Amino acid sequence: MRLFILAFILWFLLFGSVYSQDSYSNTDSPFTVMVNGGLTLSNLSSNGFNVQDQLFGNLRQSFQSGAALEFNLTPNLRVRSGVQYASLGGKSDEQIQTDTEGRELGRIRVVEQQNYVEIPLQFKYAIPQRNYQPYLMTGLTVGFLTTARWDWDSTADGVSSVIDDDISDNRKSTALGLDFSAGVQIPLRAALGLDIGGTYNLGLNNLIESDNEDLSLKLRSWRFAMGLYMAI
């Protein structure tokens, strides 16, 4: 995360000095490149588990970063694609185990982490304004799983233990999601500006690698990103 922040600052300083004009006008180039990063809030919508529905229904906080290329089809309609790294997943409520008389025997909380390299393909509608440009965007994102892990944090008889398990073999290698985004682009200098946006990603496919068709696990995530764009 620190490396991303440092790279962001260097990018800003470099292109801020290259495009040192005071003009805030847009370029006529049909191509725009950008780098961004930010916060992810994700959970896993689950069904068919013995413990409870929404086993990983609590939000897990993490990050994403990436780069994108945008092409203007018309002055208002554009296509954006690129590559990004996203850390997603979910976590359970703290489960309290009791005996028949209600006395506490132990506690357990499970966090699932799924990391993906993603390729989005999105269609963007931009609303031209004088000093800024709000936009709406929708499309599909295909994620390729890199790692998947369970972190078990439990306490029994006053003794705490943490278990870290690799569950990549039990998760499908690809995740397909539908994106709904809104944001704004703010010009800073000629051909250079700031992009701020939020996205809701609705997972479409079941991520469980199992013959049991009753088990279902789908990603849901909110993503908030900020980055720099430059017309080329």
Average pLDDT over residues 138-147: 97
Instruction: Encode pLDDT of 66-88 as tens digits.
Output: 999 999 999 899 999 999 999 99
Q: Cβ contacts of residue 173 below 8 Å, gap of 6+?
A: 144, 145
Range of the domain at 93: 2-231
Please give the residue that has the higher pLDDT: either 65 or 47: 65
pLDDT at 114 over 70: yes
* Choice between 94 and 200, residue whose per-residue pLDDT is larger: 200
CATH number at residue 95: 2.40.160.20
Span 149-175, mean pLDDT? Answer: 82
Looking at residue 128, what is its pLDDT? 81
Q: Report the number of distinct structural domains present in the chain.
A: 1
**Is the model's pLDDT at 14 over the cut of 50?**
no
Backbone angles phi, psi at 220, to 5 degrees: -135, 135
User: In sequence order, which residues have a C-beta less than 8 Å from that of residue 185 and are 6 or more positions away?
Assistant: 126, 132, 133, 135, 193, 194, 195, 196, 229
pLDDT of residue 157: 64
Of 148, 200, 152, nearest in space to 55 by CA? 152
pLDDT of 24 reads 38
Distance from the first to the final alpha carbon of the chain: 27
Q: What is the 3-state secondary structure (H, E, C) of 170-220?
A: HECCEEEEEEEEEEEEEEEECCEEEEEEEEEEEECCCCECCCCCCCEEEEE
Residue pointed to by tokens 């690809």: 174
* Nearest alpha carbon to residue 88 among 228, 229, 217, 230: 217
Ramachandran quadrant class, 139 (left: phi over 0; alpha: psi -120 to 50; beta: rest): left
pLDDT score of 35? 97
Q: Say if CB 102 and CB 68 are below 8 A apart.
A: no
Distance from C-alpha of 170 to C-alpha of 165, rounded to nearest angstrom: 11
CA 116, 122, 128, 134 dihedral sign is negative
User: Does pLDDT of 91 surpass 70?
Assistant: yes
Query: What is the reported pLDDT for 17?
Result: 42
Confidence of residue 209 (pLDDT cuts 50, 70, 90): confident
What is the arithmetic mean of pLDDT over 169-189?
94
